[in-house]
Amino acid sequence: MSDNHEVAERAAEAETKAPRSARAPVEYPVGSASEFPPGSHKIVQVGTQEVGVFNVNGDLHALINVCPHQYGPVCAGRVGGEMRCNASTDWKFHWSRDGEILICPWHGHEFDLVTGRCLALKEMRLRKCKVNVVDGEVRVSLGGG
């Protein structure tokens, strides 16, 4: 049996046996680190949730694939940047943060991939998950990021 299967089996076993209050976060293997090169993203299954794993400038970020606006599949959206025009850009249009902004495919709300926050509505944010790389394997935990 592969290491991935053993980890997944242990995760499933821990998830079903322990009472909810006593459960430690369970890590789910979602692939090797080489499958998530900088600038890439992929939607993976983590327990009962779909999670988008994004490599933003070399750092991995995992977000639940549900938009807080109207529950669209936000992680299936396009990744882009942000147009700025303010005092810091000398009031000239300037494209910035390329590869750091996720655009929901349903209604176009834009989210910061690092913080999960919506750019237009600060009270709206994506749910993040913990993501670790252990021995070259990417692991995602539900419940905090």
Q: Which residues bind ligand FES (CB under 6 A)?
A: 67, 69-70, 72, 74, 104, 106-107, 109
Q: CA–CA distance from 67 to each of 15, 77, 113, 114 (Å)?
A: 25, 10, 13, 15
User: With the CA atoms of 114, 96, 106 and 58 taken in that order, what torsion angle do they form, in degrees rounded to the nearest 10?
Assistant: -40
For residues 99 and 113, give the distance between their C-alpha atoms in angstroms, rounded to a whole number.
Answer: 9
Query: For residue 78, which phi and psi values (nearest 5 degrees)?
Result: -80, 150
Residues contacting 1, CB < 8 A, separation 6+: none
DSSP type of residue 77: S
Cβ atoms of 104 and 72 within 8 Å: the answer is yes
For residues 89 and 66, give the distance between their C-alpha atoms in angstroms, rounded to a whole number.
Answer: 33
